[in-house]
Structure 1
Amino acid sequence: MRIINPNPLQNGDVIGIVSPSSPLKSKSIDKGINYLRDMGFKIKFGAHFKEENRFLAGSDENRAKDIMDFFKDPEVKAIIVSRGGQGSQRILPLLDYHIIANNPKILVGFSDTTALQLGIFTKTGLISYTGYTLTIPYNPLLQKTLLSCLFNEPYSVQGGDMVHTGVTTGELVGGNLSLVTSLIGTPYQPDFKNKILLLEDVSTEPFNVDRMISHLDLAGIFAQVSGIVFGQFENCISKDDIEGTIDEVINDWASHFKVPCIKNFPYSHGVNNCVLPVGGFVTLDVPTRSLNINKRGSI
């Protein structure tokens, strides 16, 4: 598959804001919008980004339309998701992937946006960025990595604990475990062969995390990848002590994998998280506990 590299942003560029998942409701995006404006960007809001329809930010058609309108809009140079939640995978059949491939732009989101980003990558090869929405609190690591992605600068993220040592290079795929699992067996499932797999989740009991990792294993995903990055599983706490901890689940599964693997990497719903490229070329260096992200278009 041909990889498509979106153009980097420049000062004064227009960023489009969309809500492909849950409605904003009481969540504020003011701080995120002000931050982008302070960085010199102009903001354009999707026509339906504040809509509400049960647990969704409007109808599937309207949420998909906002995304397609921005991909077709020559003024808009990047698209950033307002928040996660649920529902982005519902709009995958409604997107025009030919238009997206011919009008590549930076797409930034997190959590539920995993389905949208993996679907677009599978259908077009367009690199996007996971780890940030407008509702996520800022921290120095987030700001540094977000700006590196927007301006196409190489960077490195250190952290986590070694599981299996080694160094491997490849395209990074994954994101939120629940959403990665939900795409298995669909036309939007990415090709995992020789990829570095990235996984995290939030507020999911350990037995559910175990079930989803088992699902990926039974689907043959772990046998295909060249490396694994387990992020931090924030608030994944058992309601019953007998069920064990999330660390026990990750350690158990990690012991089965023989490729370079790291856990507790700072990619998560927690206070210390980073932005990473979905489909981007990276190097996982377990001895230094680092993930090195290449400049787009370079290997």
Structure 2
Amino acid sequence: MNKRSFIKSLGVGLAAIPMFGKSEALAMANQIQPLLKGNVLKAGDTIGIIAPASAVTGEDSITLTKEVLEYFGFKVKEGKYIRERYGNLAGTDDQRLEDLHAMFSDKSVAGILCVRGGAGASRLLQRIDYDMIAKNPKSFDRIQ
């Protein structure tokens, strides 16, 4: 999968929702590129936390995220550069991309949670290794 096919699938699916409904829109998007789904997370699984966009503004958000995940029985693995700062971003593009790729390629990580979102993540889209992600599908979400 590459950026173009990913965006095309996403666009077709989103555009079709008002016309056909959610299930039909997903079917249309899947005809272009099958939707990848990670496993359902369960207590004992490891969740990787990264910041692929904006910098984390304080240690509290990282600490709180870890405490909540651990409370529900998950193990937590922090990205190498989660505390980095490069202007308003959580490290350089290379550092943020390295964290993203490292979490997807790490077999011990069952899911990935982004502690920050933002436009900085779009700077990574052309450089993401979509084939590696397709071979290592994981639950992927963000909090903010």
What letter corresponds to residue 52 of structure 2 in structure 1? P
Counterpart of 1:54 in structure 2 is 87
How many positions carry a matched residue from both structures?
A: 111
Are 2:52 and 1:20 equivalent residues in the alignment? Answer: yes
In 2: Cα distance, 1:106 partner to 1:20 partner: 15
Runs of 4+ off more than 6 Å? none
Higher strand proportion, which one?
1
- 1:116-157: CA deviation from partner (whole Å, max 9, x where unpaired): xxxxxxxxxxxxxxxxx1xx4xxxxxxxxxxxxxxxxxxxxx
Query: Contact 1:71/1:105 (CA < 8 Å) preserved in 2?
Result: yes
SS at match of 1:98: helix
> Matches of residues 1-299 of structure 1 in structure 2 within 5 Å?
1-26=33-58, 28-29=60-61, 30-109=63-142, 133=143, 136=144
Specify every segment of 5 or more residues in structure 1 that has no aligned partner in the other structure, as ranges.
110-132, 137-299
In 1, Cα distance between equivalents of 2:58 and 2:79: 18
Give me the TM-score of the superposition, normalised by structure 2.
Answer: 0.73
With a CA cutoff of 8 Å and minimum separation of 6, indicate the structure with the bigger relative contact order. Answer: 2
What is the aligned-residue RMSD (CA, Å)?
Answer: 1.2
Deviations 1:169-216 (A, max 9, x none): xxxxxxxxxxxxxxxxxxxxxxxxxxxxxxxxxxxxxxxxxxxxxxxx
Q: Which has the larger radius of gyration?
A: 1
* Structure 2: runs of 5+ lacking an equivalent: 1-32
> Distance in 2 between the 1:26 and 1:76 partners?
24
Shift of 1:66: 0.3
Do the aligned partners of 1:56 and 1:86 also contact (CA within 8 Å) in 2?
no
Percent identity between matched residues is 35
Asked whether the equivalents of residues 71 and 104 of structure 1 are also in contact (C-alpha less than 8 Å), the reply is yes
Q: Hey, which of these two has a bigger chunk of helix by percent? A: 2
Residue 12 of structure 2 aligns with which residue? none
Q: Distance in 1 between the 2:45 and 2:58 partners?
A: 28
